[in-house]
Structure 1
Amino acid sequence: MQWSEVRSRYSAQWVLVEAIEASTQGNKRVLDQLNVIGSFDDNSKEALRSYIKLHRENKQREMYVVHTSHDQLDITVTQWTGVRALR
């Protein structure tokens, strides 16, 4: 499913989506095909809880919580530059 289809089916909702086909262009992530895992009526906290639960189960899945009010997905790729403690 493409973003335009997601927006029309889940109007004015938070959705948890998984990227089926995606690529990186510059510092942007482009999602060509999506799978909707869940939809949440104005409840971003519940959407985020669902994301966290699924992410803990399988960290390899590329999932995002987004609101369908956005015309385009704008996902910026950032590099984690944190410091890890030595043990």
Structure 2
Amino acid sequence: MQWEEVREKFPDEWVVFEAAAAYSENGFRFIDSVTVIDRYEDSMEAMKRYKELHRSQPGKEIYFLHTSLPQLKIEEKWIGFKRWR
């Protein structure tokens, strides 16, 4: 599913998703396609679910973001955190 589709289907919500197709360029991660796992109105609930999935499936590229973001451009940080732009 494209991010635009996710934004239309789940407006003003937090979504937990797996990157189905992504690439890195100039220090950013660009996600072309996602698989939505869950959606939440509350950011803390979304973060809780993200952490559960990240611990149980560390090899998967899992994120949680708000659908108000116009695009998926995530700054790659290697200190344990990811910051979106």
TM more than 0.5: yes
Q: Secondary structure at the match of 1:18?
A: strand
Task: Tell me what 1:30 maps to.
Answer: 30
Structure 1 stretches of at least 4 aligned residues deviating more than 2 Å after TM superposition: none
Equivalent position amino acid for 1:33 in 2: S
Distance 1:58 1:16 in 2: 14
Give CA-to-partner distance per residue, 1:13-55, whole Å, 9 cap, x none: 00001001110011110101100000002x0000000011111
TM-fit CA distance, 1:73: 1.8
- Which segments of 5 or more consecutive residues in structure 2 lack a partner in the other structure? 81-85
Distance 1:26 1:17 in 2: 23
Equivalent position amino acid for 1:4 in 2: E
User: Structure 2 matches for 1:1-87, cutoff 5 A?
Assistant: 1-41=1-41, 43-80=42-79
Task: Tell me what 2:83 maps to.
Answer: none
Kept after mapping to 1: 8 A contact 2:31/2:73:
no
TM-score when normalising by structure 2: 0.89
Overall identity of the aligned pairs, in %: 38
Equivalent position amino acid for 1:5 in 2: E
Structure number with greater Rg is 1
